[in-house]
Structure 1
Amino acid sequence: MSELGAELRRARLERGLTLDDVQDSTKIRKRYLEAIEEGNYNVLPGNFYVRAFVKNYCEAVGLDADQILSQYGKEIPSASLETETEPSIAARPPRRSQPSQRSERFGKVGFSVLMWSFLILILILVYVFAIRKDSPPPKTADNNTSITDEVRPPSDNGTDQTAGEGRGTGTDTQGTGETAEPETEPEKPATTVTFREKEGNIDHYDVAPAGDHKLEIVVTNGQSWIEVREERKGGKARISKTVDPDNTLTYDLDKPLYVNVGRADNVEIKIDDIVVDDGNRPNSKK
């Protein structure tokens, strides 16, 4: 193993990352990462790619790429003018499938059903229009006919009875002293965190009910690598660095978040004060 490879491997292990984790973040094949750690640069597709791969490896494990390239520049082979590339397999154009006899038959049947449905709709419209045309017009009231001949005398107190009735419909009922009680707001349901599935090395959790929640990452015993990204593993990074103990990171959980901790035994993850089981192991948890 070369000195450069040993430095990269040490930084990777300190952050609790595997070669698979570095492969996912850098998109560099695992066998190339192993070759870099072992100093076997002949495995790489060409000298031109060595510096680019080493730089991406450094950024993935938190090292200063420019400093590493300057320090181990003599160990890295120089890039040649001609670069070798891996042969790519040309994608074959999709084969167009010929319509089968069954599809043609279903097409004819569907067209026939559509034509008959259209004809039936026209007959229904003609029938409804004929009924409305033959029905007599609605009776209307004569403008010269009075609505009522009844004359209501005024009440004894000189006020209209209807006014008294109107006053009796308020929320405060006279005579009983009862008033309408104010409506109380329903209590907010408690937060639940449910394990849904494991996809590769990532555990997925569902948080209910829908709405805003708080995510807290508490670094307790020692340092730990913390990575938080929006929506998914390759989403926009909120944080990606080593965090000292006695620090708490808080995020609004109004959208899906991807969390990666290097030392699960040094970190406590909580959602609305509900602790998420991370196994409490001395390795990474995603």
Structure 2
Amino acid sequence: MVLDMGIGSRLRDAREAKEISLDSLQETTKIQKRYLVAIEEENFSILPGKFYTKAFIREYAIAVGLDPNELMAEFSEEIPSPSEDTTTQYTRIHRSRKDNMPTKNSAIFSIVPTLFVIILIFGIIFVVWWFVISKANDENKTTPNANSDDYITRETENKNKNTNDDTNNKENQDTDENTGDATEDTDNNDEDSSAETDENSTLSMDVVEAGTGTKPTSTIELSNVGDSLTFEFEAANVQVWLDVENGNGQKFFSGFVKPTEKTTVDMTGQEQIYLNVGSAPNLTITINDETLEYPVDPSQRGADHQKIWLNVIKENE
């Protein structure tokens, strides 16, 4: 009697027919040996996730010379598929800076005691100064002889000297004020120009729509892209499945991003980019040296697998 052969037996027989050892297959597919054994024994529960079951089987089939599409179709009932969770609405991650800043009233109330102390200190200093000046003026009035010609002459000379000093001081003060105003205007113009240049040259990523439910699909707008558009993908701890396509469905990358390698994809000139990330918690995405924050928190249930559309906004739009 002929027994029905499972998908694990089919893959093992194909491997043995080509005289490929598990160690050699591990080196070819970059899949850990214990996962390869689990696939042959159809013990899919120990694989890192249900999403990886199909991906690992596909890599195994290609390595031993089998057609992965025919194999998937033939054993579709044996291969587990991710269960669908109830739809959960997630809020957008793009928040206003006002929500994260303290209110102005609380800041004002916190500095009122300090201002009061400062004003009190200046008041005391002013009273002491006024008292000293008044006492000195009284002493000057009583000391000289009003009938002395020398005293009158000295008083006249002092008044003329004070008048000339006041005139010179006023002219110097006006010159300094004009120079200071011109310098301040120049500095302000330089600061405004520098700030405007920095703002216009920085890549901006704005969430248009955050996905919901299992395998959420989100939309992000990219502005201030510049002359080039470069994506870098870096996996942490485990290899992560990734698809990168343009708006016409043309694939620029499809496969596993390995932890030991940084994958770079040039998307310069593309107006729309599609990303299919198999494990968002384990994949860091950088666009023109700016880190992309996932629209949906990857730690949420069902949000580890995310799909993202990125629309490039041209500078003249």
Q: What interval of TM-score do these two structures reach, taking the shorter chain for normalisation?
A: 0.3 to 0.5
TM-score, normalising length: structure 1? 0.37
- Bigger share in helix: 2
TM-score, normalising length: structure 2? 0.34
